[in-house]
Structure 1
C-alpha cells in the first residue's frame, strides 16, 4: 500500500510547524525523514498515524483520504512506533507484543494459534523471546524499544511509521533493526537523526528544515556536502562505502586552526 502526503500544513497555537509538505512513499519503499531538531519531522508523522489532523492538506493511503477512513481500518493498515510509546503499566513482554493484534480482534476474543505463533516468531526475530515473561518496566531502554517494534510488526500492517526507532539501541541492534526494515515488504516512513544510517537504510530521503521540504531523492542525490552544511550547519566529507556503495559522511567537528 502506498502512502502520500499531499500539501500537509500543520499550525498549532499560531505556530507553523509544517508547511506544504508533499511526499510520496511507494508500496514496499523505505523513505526517511531527516532534519535538525524542530524541523517538523515528528509532526508530519503524527498526521500519518492520526494523532494530529493537518490544518491543510491530505494524507492518503492506497489512494484513500486517511482522515475519512474508520479508525479500525486505519489501525489495521498503519502501525506506528512513536518516541513516547512505552507506557507506564508493567505488562509482560508477551502481553505487550500481543497488543499489536488488538485492531484485528473483536470483543474478548483470545488470540488464535496462528496469532500466538506470529507473536513468538516476531519476538524470536527481534531477539526478545527470552524476555517474554518479564515485565516491560524491568527492561533496559533498548530491550523495551525492541518490544515496541515487535508489537508494531505483530499488527501486520501494510504501512509502518517509525519515529527514531534506533533510540536506546546499541550498534548491533540498530543494524539488525534497520536491516529488517530494508528487507521488509512493508511501506516504511521513518524519522532518523543518523544520516549514515538513513543512507544505508532508505530508498529515498526527504530533508526538512523549518517545517519545509528542502530536498528529496536518493541518498546519493540528497546527502551532499553543500546540503549538509546548509541544513545542519556542519562540515562533512562524503565517501562511498567500500562494500555497499552507499554514501557515508565523515564529520569535521571544527575547522583546523589557521597557521601563521
Structure 2
C-alpha cells in the first residue's frame, strides 16, 4: 500500500519544524529519512502515526486520507516504533507482543490460535521468543527494542513506521533487523542516523534540513560528498561497497590534536600570564 506525505507543515511553539514536506513511499518499498538533529524527521513520522496533527497537508495511505479514519482503522493500516515506545509496566514479552493485535480485536476478545501463532512468529523473527515469559523491565535496551519491533509486526500493518529502530542494538541485530524490514514486503518509512545502514537497507532516501526536503532519490543519487558537506557539515568520501555496490560513506576526522595534558598546560600558562 502506497504512503504519501502530501505538503505536511508543522509548527511547534510558533517555530516551523516541518515545511511543506511531500514524500512518496511506494508500495513494498523501504524509504529512509535522514538529516541532522532537529531537522524534523521524527516530527514528520509523528504525523504519519497520528501522534501529531499537521498544521497543513495530509497523509495518504493508498487512497485514504489517514485523518478521516478512526484510530482503530488507522492502527490496522499503520504500525509504529517510536522513540518513546517504552513501558513502565512490567508486562511479559509475550504480553507486549500480543498488544499488537489490539486494533484487530473487540473489547476483551481473546487471541485466536492464528493470532497466537502470529505473535510467536514475530518473536522468533526478532530473536526474542526465548524471552517470552520474562518481564520487559528486566531486559536490556536492545532486547526491549526487538520486542517492540515484534509487537509492530504482529499488528500486521500495511505500513510500518520506524523511528531510529537500531538504537541500542548491537551490530548483528542492527543488520538482522534491517534485513527483516527490507524483506517484509510491506511499505516502510524509517528514520536512520547511520548513513551506511540507510544506504544498504533503503530503496530511496529523503534528506531533511531545517524541516524541508532538500534531496530525495536512490542512495547513489542522494549520498554525495557535496550533500554531506552542505547538510551535515562534514567532509567525507563516498565509495561503492565492494560486494553490493551500495554507496558507503567514509568519514574524515580532523587531524589528531596534541596530547591533552600539553594543551591544558599551555592554557594554564596563558592564564597565569594574564593574571
TM-score normalised by length of structure 1: 0.97
Aligned residues: CA RMSD: 1.0
| SS of equivalent to 2:101 | helix
- Aligned residue for 1:138? 138
Distance of aligned partners of 1:255 and 1:235 in 2 relative to their CA distance in 1, 3 Å threshold: farther
3-state DSSP of counterpart to 2:160: strand
Aligned partner of 1:86 in structure 2 is: 86
1:102-154 Cα deviation digits (max 9, x unpaired): 00000211101001111111111111111000000000000000000000000
Alignment partner, residue 38 of structure 1: 38
Give the length in aligned residue pairs. 257
Structure 1 segment 1-260 matched on structure 2, within 5 A: 1-254=1-254
Partners in 2 of 1:208 and 1:174 — Cα distance?
23
SS at match of 1:127: coil
2:156 aligned counterpart, secondary structure: coil
Deviation at 1:167, TM superposition (A): 0.2
**d(CA) in 2 for partners of 1:106 and 1:181?**
29
Deviations 1:24-73 (A, max 9, x none): 00000100000000000000000000010010011111121111111111
Gaps of 5+ in 2: 258-275
Q: Can you give the 5+ residue segments of structure 1 that lack an aligned partner in the other structure? A: none
Q: Normalising to structure 2: TM-score of the pair?
A: 0.92
Whichever of the two has the greater Rg, that structure is 2
Query: How far apart in 2 are the matches of 1:254 and 1:186?
Result: 41
Specify the SS of the correspondent of 2:216.
strand
Three-state SS of the structure 1 residue aligned to 2:167 is: coil
Alignment partner, residue 265 of structure 2: none
For the residues of structure 1 that align with 2:234 and 2:241, how far apart are their CA atoms? 20
